[in-house]
């Protein structure tokens, strides 16, 4: 059984059923039933036309369910005579699903779960394992999301920015269970980029590739975090970096800068340095200036303060940091780093310990505790 093929076909088939007249929830249920049947019917490999097979079986499942529900008899009479989709519609159908699963009426967590289920073709069990929640909990979340968008009809183009934020949320979940969500996000973003020539889709794909290329160097043998400056750059995936840079350059050439392109440009400058001390921090500050202009994001301003500290010295970085809200996540950790760079280990150790108490993950907490201990024992 070719699982990758089924995951690729899932959104296409759902989209075809929706275009024929099925509501989203009924279409998704019918396709899931067809996928179960495919597992049993394709023991030795897919048929010659796997998409056609799945459409036929899923459509039959949908009509069977519609016949069993008297309130849907009028719809059934209408959709049974609808002609099959013509050639060249699969990409349009899949694109509609991207927008539907990122509908503004959904919470971010529901949008992510529905995207992974309907567009990514993952099972509820796989999604639940990836998010470390019980399968029943994830099933309820997906069911609520399906009900929310069940009767949504598109009468205008969807919001690409919302789709990209959902995909970026998937990417940032990283890896847990038997599904690598970072790689799944790259796959889905690559698919979206092939469907629409949008510079910010390309920017997000480039950003993902450039970040993912450093994955092998981010942790040590014990699972501890390795800061960017200390990473073994021989472990970086140079082929993925080259692809990310190529995708980014093509996007920037369109001269319609967006936040994901700006973030990718920063990641590309980090990737371009053979050694940490060769990093072009002046250019990175300039790109952060663009990012702040585009988004006004406090997180971008915080990261800019770090870059200013590298480009113009820690005192300049601390001055930039002083303009921000100390309640920002990781503000204290940045302050600790800049004070250490400024030759004040006592203040830095105190701040590292303080930052550890509010760290968002165990790995980050352990790293900050080690930093504090290192300075106190020096």
- Give residue-wise pLDDT tens across range 170-214: 998 866 556 788 999 999 999 999 989 999 999 999 999 999 999
The reported pLDDT for the residue numbered 304 is: 98
pLDDT (tens digit per residue) in 57-82: 999 988 888 777 644 445 444 444 34
pLDDT tens profile 301-340: 999 999 999 999 999 999 999 999 999 999 999 999 999 9
Residue 285 has pLDDT above 60, yes or no: yes
The whole-number pLDDT of residue 48 equals 86
pLDDT at 85: 46
What mean pLDDT is predicted for residues 151-163?
A: 75
Give yes or no for a contact between 243 and 267, defined as CB atoms under 8 angstroms apart.
no
Q: Residue 83's pLDDT band (boundaries 50, 70, 90)?
A: very low
What is residue 4's predicted lDDT score, i.e. its pLDDT? 81
Domain limits, the chain = 1-86, 90-195, 329-378
Going by pLDDT thresholds of 50, 70 and 90, the confidence category of residue 232 is very high
Residue 53 CB contacts under 8 Å (≥ 6 apart), including other chains: 38, 46, 47
Mean pLDDT of the chain: 88
Taking the C-alpha atoms of residue 316 and residue 334, their distance in angstroms, rounded to an integer, is: 13
């Amino acid at each position: 059984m070719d699982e990758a093929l089924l995951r690729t076909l899932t959104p296409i088939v759902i989209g075809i059923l929706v275009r024929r007249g099925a509501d989203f929830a009924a279409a998704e249920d019918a396709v899931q039933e067809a996928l179960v049947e495919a597992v049993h019917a394709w023991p030795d490999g897919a048929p010659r036309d796997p998409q056609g097979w799945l459409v036929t079986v899923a459509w039959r499942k949908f009509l069977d369910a519609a016949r069993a529900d008297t309130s849907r008899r009028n719809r059934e009479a209408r959709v049974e005579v609808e002609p099959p989709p013509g050639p060249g519609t699969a990409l349009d159908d899949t694109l509609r699903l991207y927008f539907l699963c990122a509908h503004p009426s959904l919470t971010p967590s529901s949008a992510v779960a529905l995207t992974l289920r309907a567009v990514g073709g993952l099972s509820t069990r796989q999604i639940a394992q990836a998010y470390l929640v019980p399968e029943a909990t994830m099933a309820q979340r997906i069911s609520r999301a399906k009900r929310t968008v069940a009767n949504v009809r598109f009468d205008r183009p969807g919001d690409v920015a919302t789709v990209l934020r959902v995909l970026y949320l998937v990417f940032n979940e990283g890896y847990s269970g038997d599904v690598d969500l970072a790689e799944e996000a790259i796959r889905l973003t690559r698919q979206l980029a092939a469907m629409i020539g949008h510079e910010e889709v390309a920017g997000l794909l480039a950003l993902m590739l450039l970040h993912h290329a450093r994955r092998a160097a981010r942790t040590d043998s014990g699972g501890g975090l390795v800061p960017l400056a200390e990473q073994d750059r021989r472990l970086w995936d140079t082929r993925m970096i080259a692809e990310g840079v190529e995708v980014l350059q093509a996007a920037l050439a369109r001269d319609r800068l967006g936040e994901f392109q700006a973030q990718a440009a920063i990641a590309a400058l980090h990737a371009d340095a053979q050694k940490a001390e060769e990093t072009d921090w002046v250019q990175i500050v300039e790109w952060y200036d663009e990012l702040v202009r585009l988004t006004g994001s406090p997180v971008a301003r915080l990261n800019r303060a770090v870059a200013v500290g590298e480009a113009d010295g820690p005192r300049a970085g601390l001055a930039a940091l002083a303009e921000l809200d100390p309640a920002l996540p990781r503000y204290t950790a940045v302050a600790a780093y800049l004070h250490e760079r400024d030759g004040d280990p006592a203040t830095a150790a105190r701040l590292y310990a303080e930052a550890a108490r509010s760290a968002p993950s165990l790995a980050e907490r352990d790293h900050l505790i080690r930093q504090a201990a290192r300075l106190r024992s020096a």
